[in-house]
């Protein structure tokens, strides 16, 4: 694990605050320098003294103090660490962050930082699932904040549900997964990515194709390579430069894409971002189909093509993580959920496509669907979506092993 060297830990008010003491202990054991800010709410649960005893340094509190500002101003405080971690993150601090408020040291530091920010929410399950909290989380994710999702279980209030702060060990994994601080967290992992359209020939000059630009798949391949993975990109006809440090294999139709994907196994990660043609003409004419008469109607019969992602998911050498995309024009989430199961993918990224959506555009909005979670990622560049997916992948491998 490649961990950051220093962390600014913000402890807000929650029963889970006691877990941040264990978290500090784990970070210190890894040699991480920890500076803490305890909010007023956090100080209701644990004391600055207990925090300082573990960090070995001064603990800051909510209030602006002239001495603190002279020693280290809030701007500097927010920037000296490699990472800002809010754990536990209460509903209140999440709302403040989403609104961009700066009414105390914590919120000011969060606004002033130029470092990656992670939040580990902790709250009652009703508070977590409340539309206002979910709206704030969606906003924070869009702002680039990394979410360490809360888990399900019994709560201090006696109720049961999702809202418990992630365990300190999981938070350590999330810290190690940060691309900015983790160096090459996917070094040693092999990845196969499909991208762009496939075409099926009707005759030597005509084909059945689709409007995929390949932008999303290429961005995923680049982000995986940047994280240190050994990436093979299988791509159809696209008008894009090859990603750096990636092995690119050009393919035409569904069958050759599957053959190339199978040949690239074994791999740890498979991401199917290609828009694979679903049908092929039952016969590919060896010569150009000629019109006998200008009014001739041409009728073609189509057969289904092979399903690349489903075949890879069933392969005896199945990669540990198989990710598909679902391009939908209606009932996006329901169709994508069913598609994930039908194709045997671990995750599916659902996106709405249509005349002015997704295909060919530089931005995309997706929902990541797994067997256990659904996370909506609001409109962002395809590059940002790719980077977010890769952070999720890194986190997945760190937690799984």
Report the catalytic residues. 157
Q: How far is it, in rounded angstroms, from Cα 307 to Cα 279?
A: 10
Q: Can residue 309 be called a binding residue for ligand CTP (CB under 6 A)?
A: yes
Identified binder of ligand CTP from the candidate list 276, 313, 332, 369, rule CB under 6 A:
276
Tell me how far, at minimum, the Cβ of 79 lies from ligand CTP, in Å: 40
Q: Can residue 278 be called a binding residue for ligand CTP (CB under 6 A)?
A: yes
Q: How far is it, in rounded angstroms, from Cα 90 to Cα 12?
A: 6
Tell me how far, at minimum, the Cβ of 319 lies from ligand CTP, in Å: 13
Q: Can residue 235 be called a binding residue for ligand CTP (CB under 6 A)?
A: no
Q: How far is it, in rounded angstroms, from Cα 46 to Cα 119?
A: 19
Residue range at the interface with ligand CTP (CB under 6 A); choices 24-32, 137-145, 271-279, 293-301: 271-279
Residue range at the interface with ligand CTP (CB under 6 A); choices 46-54, 105-113, 286-294, 320-328: 320-328
Identified binder of ligand CTP from the candidate list 82, 230, 307, 375, rule CB under 6 A:
307
Nearer to ligand CTP, 275 or 385 (CB): 275
Determine the 3-state secondary structure of 74 from DSSP: helix
Q: Can residue 366 be called a binding residue for ligand CTP (CB under 6 A)?
A: no
Residues, the chain, total?
401
Residue range at the interface with ligand CTP (CB under 6 A); choices 92-100, 227-235, 285-293, 324-332: 324-332
Nearer to ligand CTP, 124 or 284 (CB): 284
Are 90 and 12 contacting, i.e. CB atoms less than 8 angstroms apart?
A: yes
Q: How far is it, in rounded angstroms, from Cα 188 to Cα 228?
A: 7
Site track for ligand CTP across 137-176, x = CB under 6 A: ----------------------------------------
Are 140 and 147 contacting, i.e. CB atoms less than 8 angstroms apart?
A: yes
Write down the H helix ranges in 264-331. Answer: 308-314
Q: How far is it, in rounded angstroms, from Cα 181 to Cα 81?
A: 11
Nearer to ligand CTP, 161 or 209 (CB): 209
Q: Can residue 274 be called a binding residue for ligand CTP (CB under 6 A)?
A: yes
Tell me how far, at minimum, the Cβ of 276 lies from ligand CTP, in Å: 3
Tell me how far, at minimum, the Cβ of 98 lies from ligand CTP, in Å: 32
Tell me how far, at minimum, the Cβ of 257 lies from ligand CTP, in Å: 7
Determine the 3-state secondary structure of 59 from DSSP: strand
Q: How far is it, in rounded angstroms, from Cα 196 to Cα 202?
A: 19
Residue range at the interface with ligand CTP (CB under 6 A); choices 28-36, 58-66, 178-186, 307-315: 307-315
Dihedrals phi, psi of 166, to nearest 5 degrees: -55, 150
Q: How far is it, in rounded angstroms, from Cα 354 to Cα 172?
A: 40
Q: At what angle are helices 17-29 and 48-55 packed, to 10 degrees?
A: 10
Tokens of 194: 């499909």
Half-sphere exposure of 65 (CA within 13 A, CB side): 9
Tell me how far, at minimum, the Cβ of 315 lies from ligand CTP, in Å: 12
Identified binder of ligand CTP from the candidate list 305, 364, 391, 398, rule CB under 6 A:
305
Nearer to ligand CTP, 51 or 258 (CB): 258
* C-alpha distance from residue 133 to each of 94, 200, 261, 375 (Å): 8, 47, 41, 14
Total site size for ligand CTP, rule CB under 6 A: 17
Q: At what angle are helices 91-99 and 131-142 packed, to 10 degrees?
A: 50
Q: Can residue 272 be called a binding residue for ligand CTP (CB under 6 A)?
A: yes
Q: How far is it, in rounded angstroms, from Cα 194 to Cα 191?
A: 10
Tokens of 66: 């002239």
Q: Which of positions 194-233 make contact with ligand CTP (CB under 6 A)? A: 194
Determine the 3-state secondary structure of 367 from DSSP: strand
Q: Can residue 327 be called a binding residue for ligand CTP (CB under 6 A)?
A: yes
Q: At what angle are helices 91-99 and 105-112 packed, to 10 degrees?
A: 50
Tell me how far, at minimum, the Cβ of 279 lies from ligand CTP, in Å: 9
Identified binder of ligand CTP from the candidate list 325, 347, 359, 377, rule CB under 6 A:
325
Residues at the site binding ligand CTP, with contacts judged by CB under 6 A: 194, 254, 272, 274-276, 278, 305, 307-309, 324-327, 339, 343
């Amino acid at each position: 694990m490649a961990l950051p060297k220093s962390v600014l830990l913000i402890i807000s008010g929650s029963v889970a605050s006691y877990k941040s003491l264990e978290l500090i202990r784990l970070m210190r054991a890894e040699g991480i320098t920890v500076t803490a800010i305890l909010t007023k709410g956090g100080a209701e649960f644990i004391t600055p003294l207990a925090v300082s005893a573990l960090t070995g340094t001064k603990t800051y509190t909510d209030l602006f103090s002239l001495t603190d500002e002279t020693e280290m101003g809030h701007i500097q405080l927010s920037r000296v660490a490699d990472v800002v971690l809010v754990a536990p993150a209460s509903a209140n601090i999440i709302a403040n962050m989403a609104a961009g408020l700066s009414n105390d040291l914590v919120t000011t530091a969060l606004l002033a930082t130029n470092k990656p920010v992670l939040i580990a929410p902790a709250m009652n399950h009703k508070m977590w699932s409340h539309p206002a909290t979910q709206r704030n989380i969606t906003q924070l994710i869009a702002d680039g904040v990394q979410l360490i999702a809360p888990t399900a279980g019994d709560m201090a209030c006696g109720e049961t549900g999702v809202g418990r702060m992630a365990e300190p060990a999981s938070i350590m994994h999330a810290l190690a997964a940060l691309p900015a601080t983790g160096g090459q967290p996917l070094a040693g992992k092999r990845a196969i990515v499909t991208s762009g359209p496939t075409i099926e020939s009707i005759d030597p000059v005509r084909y059945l194709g689709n409007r995929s630009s390949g932008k999303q798949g290429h961005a995923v391949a680049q982000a995986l390579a940047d994280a240190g993975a050994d990436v093979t990109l299988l791509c159809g006809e696209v008008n894009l430069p090859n990603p750096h440090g990636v092995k690119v294999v050009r393919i035409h139709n569904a069958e050759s894409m599957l053959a190339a994907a199978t040949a690239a196994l074994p791999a740890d990660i498979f991401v199917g971002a290609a828009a694979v043609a679903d049908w092929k003409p039952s016969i590919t004419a060896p010569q150009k189909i000629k019109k006998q008469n200008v009014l001739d109607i041409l009728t073609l019969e189509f057969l289904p093509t092979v399903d690349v992602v489903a075949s890879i998911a069933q392969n005896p050498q199945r990669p540990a993580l198989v990710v598909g995309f679902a391009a939908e024009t209606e009932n996006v989430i329901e169709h994508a959920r069913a598609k994930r199961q039908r194709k045997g993918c671990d995750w599916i990224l659902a996106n709405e496509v249509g005349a002015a959506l997704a295909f060919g555009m530089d931005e995309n909005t997706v929902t990541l669907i797994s067997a256990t979670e659904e996370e909506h990622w609001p409109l962002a560049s395809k590059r940002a979506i790719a980077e977010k997916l890769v952070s999720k992948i890194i986190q997945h491998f760190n937690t799984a092993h």
